[in-house]
Amino acid sequence: MTTTETLTPSKPKGFDGKGFDGSGGRGRRARKTPKGRQVETDALEEIQALLTDRPRRRDLLIEHLHLIQDKYGHLSAAHLTALASEMKMALAEVYEVATFYAHFDVVKEGETPPPAITVRVCDSLSCCMVGAETLLAELPAKLGPDVRVIRAPCMGACDVAPVVAVGHVQTFKADVDNVTKAVKAHEHAHAASPITSFDVYRKDGGYSLLKSCLDGSRTREDMIKAVDDSGLRGLGGAGFPTGRKWTLVRAEKGPRLMAVNGDEGEPGTFKDRYYLGLDPHRFIEGLLLAAWVVEASQVYFYLRDEYPELRLMLLEEIAKVEEAGLSPHTTINLRRGAGAYICGEESAMIESIEGKRGLPRHRPPYVAQVGVFGRPTLVQNVETLYWIRDIVEKGASWFTSHGRRERKGLRSFSVSGRVKNPGVKLAPAGVTIRELIEEYSGGMQDGHTLKGFLPGGASGGVLPESMADIPLDFGTLEPHGSFVGSHAVVILSDQDDMKAVALNLMKFFEDESCGQCTPCRVGTEKAVKLMQQGPWNEGLLNELSTAMRDASICGLGQAAPNPLQSVMKHFPDDLKKPLKGW
């Protein structure tokens, strides 16, 4: 017979036989409160008062964060906790979105909130060329400790540089004196007055084309053919044929949606701002026509936060359109960006529309198949929609009658830098840089000689004066390692250091990288460090550029090396000189 011995387990060291709660059992002490940060009653009541009867949907998270930021000047831990509770979201989700966007000031528990007034000084290329660094150096002492002065990326007003935003109100051609006056006034943004009002636009035949579509006088096929015949392309940078895009989206099973990209954050770009302020209803009619063609029941118009006066104006003008019964087929939802250049990339914009961080999506699927809320989505740029009414009413031949050097159509160039008359220049496709300067921009500034230019903002690289006679259009600059993109032109002169130009642009990409992929996140940071050091190590910089181009998820990381590479290629003499800057 086998005897089985009963073994008594030994006690853990330090165990006294009583439970962890002192009761003699082995259970943990019961929590008096749930896990995590607790909701403060006062903070919850303040959030509820702000949101009123607004829906607590996940996609409205960024809109609700703006309400808090606008009211209190920052996002406190207590308010974020209360918002998460009110929206039935994990606090981590709210925090990850709030901390992603530059215009949200997240204040952690125990931290001191920022001063009541924040002054943002644009440090993008056009502003640095005319004194932004001096403003950054002098304003803190002038304004005192009760005002926060920080750097900010391009604010979309390069033609009136330097630009400084006091709160959300911008001061153009800023200097220490007018910024100081703006701080003392500290006004909130007011709705802009459109140059062409709703009544004037309608008297001039506005919305007649839309009505003819809604009443069946025109077919969707008619609209697509007119746009196809004109050769209209996406004018936000990619240049995809508009009529073809409409056809592709229509081929997808409904329900379909539409998103409008008004987040022109490319340094040197400000044409969408110009057209929205000039004639907003021409744009709104184009938007409603495109939505009708693809049968989009909802339109999400994503407008950058740097244009608060336009946002307030558009809310008023869209309401007039709705009251007039001109949008029975769709609903326009105006969404507010929060200071993230990456959201100009269409899939990152869609993530932001859905209330998330603006991280670009992997492709395929493309947004025409899986876009906003997983539905087939038509994405259009502001200027593209602006031209639809004219193209259809005047005929495709009217649009194609413009052009030079066998290029067809009209192009809007945002021109800034060393010219006498910067601004938005409507010119024929195929115009050259030299013609833009001499015929449209009043020539070079006195004492300046053309040395180089950015043909397509920061992403398009820097080309030398010897290429100033190449036609500017889609496909003409690619053989030279550049592209026209959003038609943002910055003119550089013999008084500009091309190494400083490339460094300024690389710092922009470093700051605006979303951080999702290592080649872009680390590559831009490493490139800045290498470029700031003595002589450039061209071999190492070329190797780094190749890695960024080949492995980055989206166009930001892929295009970031363009200024660096073009300066090494076209301006070798500048590489031999010490970094000068402005």
Q: What is the pLDDT of residue 160?
A: 98
Q: What is the pLDDT of residues 501-559, one digit of tens each?
A: 999 999 999 999 999 999 999 999 999 999 998 799 999 999 999 999 999 999 999 99
Question: Does the pLDDT value for residue 9 go beyond 50?
Answer: no
Question: Does the pLDDT value for residue 371 go beyond 70?
Answer: yes
Question: Does the pLDDT value for residue 28 go beyond 70?
Answer: no
3-state secondary structure of 247: helix
- With both helix axes pointing from N to C terminus, report the angle between 77-87 and 61-72 in degrees, rounded to the nearest 10: 150
Q: What is the pLDDT of residue 7?
A: 45
Average pLDDT over residues 360-379: 96
pTM of the entire predicted model = 0.92
Share of residues in the chain with pLDDT > 70 (%):
94
Query: What is the average pLDDT value for the chain, to the nearest integer?
Result: 94
Question: Does the pLDDT value for residue 286 go beyond 60?
Answer: yes
Residues 332 and 132: their CA atoms lie apart, in Å, by 37
Residue 508, burial from CB neighbour count under 10 angstroms (0-12, 13-18, 19+): buried
Q: What is the pLDDT of residue 27?
A: 59
Q: What is the pLDDT of residues 213-230, one digit of tens each?
A: 999 999 999 999 999 999
Question: Does the pLDDT value for residue 212 go beyond 90?
Answer: yes
Which is nearest to 129 in space by CA: 547, 501, 556, 554?
501
Q: What is the pLDDT of residue 278?
A: 97
Question: Beta strands of 247-392 (E only): which ranges?
Answer: 256-262, 296-303, 331-336, 377-381
> Dihedral of CA 425/428/429/431: which sign?
negative
- pLDDT band of 435, cuts 50, 70, 90: very high
Q: What is the pLDDT of residues 162-181, one digit of tens each?
A: 999 999 999 999 999 999 99
Q: What is the pLDDT of residue 49?
A: 98
402 Cβ neighbours under 8 A, 6+ residues apart: 408, 409, 410, 428, 429
Question: Does the pLDDT value for residue 6 go beyond 50?
Answer: no
- pLDDT band of 26, cuts 50, 70, 90: low
- Please name each of the domains of the chain with its CATH number: 41-107 (1.10.10), 117-185 (3.40.30.10), 198-394 (3.40.50.11540), 406-496 (3.10.20.600), 497-581 (1.20.1440.230)
Question: Does the pLDDT value for residue 11 go beyond 70?
Answer: no
Burial 379-389 (b: 16+ CB within 10 A, else e): bbbbbbbbbbb
Average pLDDT over residues 103-122: 96
Q: Please, are residues 351 and 332 in contact by the beta-carbon 8 Å criterion?
A: no
Q: What is the pLDDT of residues 557-577, one digit of tens each?
A: 999 999 999 999 999 999 988
Q: Look-up: residue for tokens 């660094």?
A: 133
